[in-house]
Chain A
């Protein structure tokens, strides 16, 4: 079955540590996205990538970094510069930049201790 795999599902981090969230898709989608969800808020776009080796900042990119070395993979690093990293992180993909329907992974919950 095609889909998006995010790992780990739960992650705990000490303050000052960087952490990388994995996102892999086997849907052959061109575009990939990272969103963040906080309680009582909608999903907010962190970074997105329309093609390999290219990515763009979303609305809340500060304190985050990404790479897109392969079409299937779009890892997100939460750096120590992110002031409030505790959140639910969602990775998504779409067929191409002309497609509005995103397919989401199951998410990763990051908790900073």
Chain B
């Protein structure tokens, strides 16, 4: 039972354009969502997060949008840079005693072409 899904295995964009990565979830108990970036043979690094009480959170070139009614979140990267090329995972937490226990999606490979 995949509670967090990233249906696009890969995404290719041109440098300077917008990258939009999508994530869907099924568990209505999830109340905190995170995006992680991962390079090959390295551990994931935290990128940005959003609480379920918000619908948008920005940090520089990165913005995460949350649509609770649709159980959907997205990560926007504007403008995209070649260094953004990596695997992006969305993750969710159910709060309470589940803090820190993250459920991850399958990941989306982003390639930004110069």
Contacts and interface: CB of A to CB of B under 8 A. Distances in A.
Interface of A: 4, 6, 9, 31, 33, 35, 40-45, 48, 50, 58, 90, 92, 94, 96-107, 109
A51 B100 CA distance: 13
B48 to A, nearest CB: 10
20 contacts: A6-B43, A9-B41, A42-B107, A45-B101, A45-B102, A48-B100, A50-B100, A90-B43, A90-B44, A94-B100, A97-B97, A97-B100, A98-B99, A99-B99, A100-B34, A101-B34, A104-B36, A104-B45, A106-B43, A107-B41
Interface of B: 4, 6, 9, 32, 34, 36, 41-46, 49, 89, 91, 93, 97, 99-107
B97 A40 contact: no
Contacts, number: 69
A43 B3 CA distance: 12
B106 A40 contact: yes
**B32, B43, B105 pick with most chain A CB within 10 angstroms:** B43
Given A42-B91, A106-B41, 13 more contacts: A33-B101, A42-B106, A45-B101, A45-B102, A50-B100, A90-B44, A92-B43, A97-B99, A99-B99, A100-B102, A101-B46, A107-B41, A109-B41
